[in-house]
C-alpha cells in the first residue's frame, strides 16, 4: 500500500552525480513552464502547496526529486519553452535532460500539455525524448475545466496527431483545479509500480 500523503522533497539535481540511482521507480513529470505542472503534482498527492508553484515560469533549471512513502520518486523536470531563458540556460537544460534520459532511470513518463491549445514545438520535442527512451509514457491534458465538453474530442485528437503518439500512449483529460482525471492518472502510475494506494 502506498501512502501518497507521506511525501517529502528529497533534493534538486543540477548534474548527473545528483541523480538518485537505486531500485526505486521514477515517475517523471515534464511540461512547458506555464502548463501547471506543479499544480498537477500537488493534485495527485492531495497536497495544496507541496510542489512549489512558481509565479515566474522558467526559474527552475534543475530536476526536483520527491520521495513518496519511501517507495518511489516523483521526478519534476525543469519547465521548458520559456522564451526569456538565455541560450546558455537552454543548453544547460538540454544537457541535463540528455544526462537523465541516457541513464535509463525512468519508469514512467508523464508529459503535461495544455488541452486548450495545439501542442508547441517544444511539446513535440519532449514527446520525442520520451519516445526515444522506449519507456512507457502518458499525456496529461491539463486545464480541462477551461474548455467546453463539445470541444474535448477535437482537442484530444489534435494532441495525439501533433505529438505523433503511438496508440499505446494514453491522453488523459485532467483538471488540476477541479481534480478531474486524477484517479485515472494515479491508476496508471500505480499499475507501473505494482502498488495500491490510499489517498
Q: For 103-124, what is each residue's pLDDT tens digit?
A: 999 999 999 999 999 999 999 9
How far, in Å, CA of 56 to CA of 151, rounded? 30
Contact (CB, 8 A) for 172 and 185: yes
Whole-angstrom CA distances from 82 to 32, 56, 78, 199 are 7, 10, 10, 33
How far, in Å, CA of 49 to CA of 43, rounded? 9
Which of 63, 71, 3, 69 lies closest to 28 in space, CA to CA? 63
pLDDT at 173: 98
- For the chain of 199 residues, list the mean pLDDT of each consecutive stretch of 10: 91 92 94 92 89 56 90 92 75 88 95 98 95 96 97 98 97 97 96 75
Cell numbers 483529460: residue: 173
This prediction has a pTM of: 0.93
pLDDT at 30: 96
Amino acid at each position: 500500500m502506498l501512502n501518497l500523503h507521506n511525501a517529502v522533497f528529497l533534493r534538486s539535481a543540477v548534474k548527473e552525480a545528483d541523480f538518485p540511482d537505486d531500485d526505486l521507480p521514477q515517475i517523471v513529470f515534464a511540461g512547458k513552464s506555464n502548463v501547471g505542472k506543479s499544480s498537477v503534482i500537488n493534485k495527485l498527492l492531495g497536497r495544496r502547496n507541496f510542489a512549489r508553484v512558481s509565479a515566474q515560469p522558467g526559474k527552475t533549471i534543475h530536476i526536483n526529486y520527491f520521495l513518496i512513502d519511501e517507495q518511489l520518486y516523483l521526478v519534476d523536470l525543469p519547465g521548458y519553452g520559456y522564451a526569456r531563458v538565455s541560450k546558455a540556460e537552454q543548453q544547460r537544460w538540454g544537457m541535463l535532460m540528455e544526462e537523465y534520459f541516457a541513464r535509463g532511470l525512468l519508469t514512467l513518463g508523464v508529459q503535461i500539455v495544455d488541452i486548450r491549445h495545439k501542442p508547441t514545438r517544444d511539446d513535440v520535442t519532449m514527446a520525442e525524448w520520451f519516445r526515444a527512451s522506449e519507456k512507457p509514457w502518458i499525456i496529461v491534458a491539463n486545464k480541462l475545466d477551461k474548455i467546453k465538453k463539445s470541444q474535448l474530442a477535437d482537442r484530444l485528437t489534435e494532441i495525439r496527431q501533433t505529438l505523433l503518439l503511438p496508440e499505446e500512449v494514453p491522453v488523459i483529460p485532467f483538471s488540476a483545479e477541479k481534480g478531474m482525471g486524477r484517479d485515472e492518472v494515479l491508476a496508471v502510475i500505480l499499475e507501473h509500480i505494482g502498488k495500491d494506494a490510499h489517498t
